[in-house]
Structure formats: C-alpha cells, structure tokens
Chain A
Amino acid sequence: DQQVKQNSPSLSVQEGRISILNCDYTNSMFDYFLWYKKYPAEGPTFLISISSIKDKNEDGRFTVFLNKSAKHLSLHIVPSQPGDSAVYFCAASAVETSGSRLTFGEGTQLTVNP
C-alpha cells in the first residue's frame, strides 16, 4: 500500500510565482516529514523538514505546512526560480521504526519556466 502519496506527477509554474507541491499520507504513526529534491543523475538532497508538533516550518523561499487532521502536507516555494526545476519527493518517518527509515512518495516533477 502507498502510505505516502503525491498525486501530481508534474507541475509547471512561471518564474517568480509560487509553486505548491502536495503530499498525503495514511499512516497515523508518521511524526516527521521531509522534502527532498532530486536532479537527474544525482541522489536526492534534503530540502526541509517538519515535526508533527509543528504546523509550519520556513527556510528562506521554502515553507512546509503540515495539516495532521487531514494527513496532508505541502511545500511552498516562493518566488520560484528556474533552478528549482527538479523532482520533489515527500517522505515520512515514524519514531517507532528502526533508525529513521523513510517512506517516500512517488515524486512531483516541478518545471519553472523563465
């Protein structure tokens, strides 16, 4: 079963506008959420995270919002830049699982047009 789901395989926005990437999860034991960015032929790189005790975390142009009741999180990028074009993965972990093994969504390809 797909415990972390990104329903939009792709998103296209204009430079300078806001990009909103969405992620839904089903496992109520998840208590830590992350976004990773991946360029072609490279491994994913960590972008931003949020603990379940918060509903918002901000880092520069990137903000992650968590709605626990809806089991939904989103990543906002504003303003979007062409260099942000990449695949974005949502991931989640639960403190009970050994280590911090991550459960990933399928990814969303973001394209920022100049």
Chain B
Amino acid sequence: GAGVSQSPSNKVTEKGKDVELRCDPISGHTALYWYRQSLGQGLEFLIYFQGNSAPDKSGLPSDRFSAERTGGSVSTLTIQRTQQEDSAVYLCASSHQGGIADARDTQYFGPGTRLTVL
C-alpha cells in the first residue's frame, strides 16, 4: 500500500519568502507528526496532530512556523519569512493512533522535503 508521501522533495527559496510543505499520511492513520533534521543533527520534533484534538505545537521553533491538517488527512507546514537557519530536511510521519493509550504505534516516515534557504 501507499506510504507517507511528501512534496516537494526539494525546495530552494530566498530568505524572507514563505514556503509550504505538504504531507499525505498513510490512509487511516489518525496521528501525524512533523520533524526536521538539520545538518549533522538528529530529528527534532515540531508538531503533532491527533484526530480532531488540538495539535501539540510545543516543538515549533518560532511563530514563523505553523501547520494545518485538513479533514484529518493532508497536512501543510508553512514557514513564513524563511531564514537561512530554517534550511533542513522536513520529515512527516504518521501512525495508526498515537494517543497515550496506544503510545507505541510505529511511526512511518515520508521521504522528506529538503529545504534550502539562500
């Protein structure tokens, strides 16, 4: 079956521009996560969506970052007024439930979007 897909695979933008990154989770997965991996670093949690609950935004590094998840499926991560330090690979993951009661559901990752801010 189809895995997690992300688009675009690569994005080059100029400092100060806004970018939108898209994630299509695995069908039926109610939990969706965004992470980013900066050069030489591990994956850093950004935001988590679970069903219709309010998202956990505690990992977003600044108010220039926002994310939406429409209809409980597709998610868009938006970075406004991009800065060079935003350059990273942005990874999306989904899992079946993701709630505390099933906190051990495996997260399946997409291939990521490589963002380069010039």
* Size bracket of the B interface: 20 to 34
B-contact 0/1 string along A85-101, CB 8 Å cutoff: 00001010101101111
Kindly state whether residue A103 has any CB partner on chain B within 8 Å.
yes
Given A43-B109, A44-B91, A93-B103, A99 contacting B43 (CB threshold 8 A): no
CA separation between A102 and B110, bound complex, in Å?
15
Given contacts A32-B104, A104-B42, contact A99 B111 (CB under 8 A): no
CB pair B31 A99 closer than 8 Å? yes
Contacts of A99 in B (CB 8 A): 31, 33, 48, 50, 56, 98-100, 103
Q: How distant is the Cα of A102 from the Cα of B99 in the complex, in angstroms?
A: 13
Chain A residue numbers with a CB within 8 Å of B40 are: 106
Known A-B contacts A43-B4, A43-B91, A44-B91; the reply to A107 vs B42 at CB < 8 A is yes
CB-based contact B91/A98 at 8 Å: no
Contact of B103 among A43, A44, A45, A100 (CB under 8 A): A100
Q: Which residues of B contact A102 (CB under 8 A)?
A: 33, 35, 43, 45, 107
Does the CB pair A101–B43 fall under 8 Å? no
A-chain residues with CB within 8 Å of residue B98 when the two chains form the complex: 99-100
- Known contacts: A4-B42, A106-B42. The answer to whether A95 contacts B109 by CB under 8 A is no
Interface SS of chain A: helix, strand, loop or mixed? loop
* Chain A residue contacts of B110, Cβ below 8 A: 43
B contact residues vs A (CB 8 Å cutoff): 4, 31, 33, 35, 40-45, 48, 50, 56, 59, 91, 93, 95, 98-100, 103-112
| Cβ–Cβ < 8 Å partners of A4 in chain B | 42
Bound Cα distance from A100 to B32, whole angstroms: 10
Known: A51-B104, A100-B105. 16 other contacts (CB 8 A): A32-B104, A36-B109, A43-B93, A43-B108, A44-B109, A46-B106, A89-B42, A99-B100, A99-B103, A100-B31, A100-B107, A101-B33, A102-B33, A104-B44, A106-B42, A107-B42
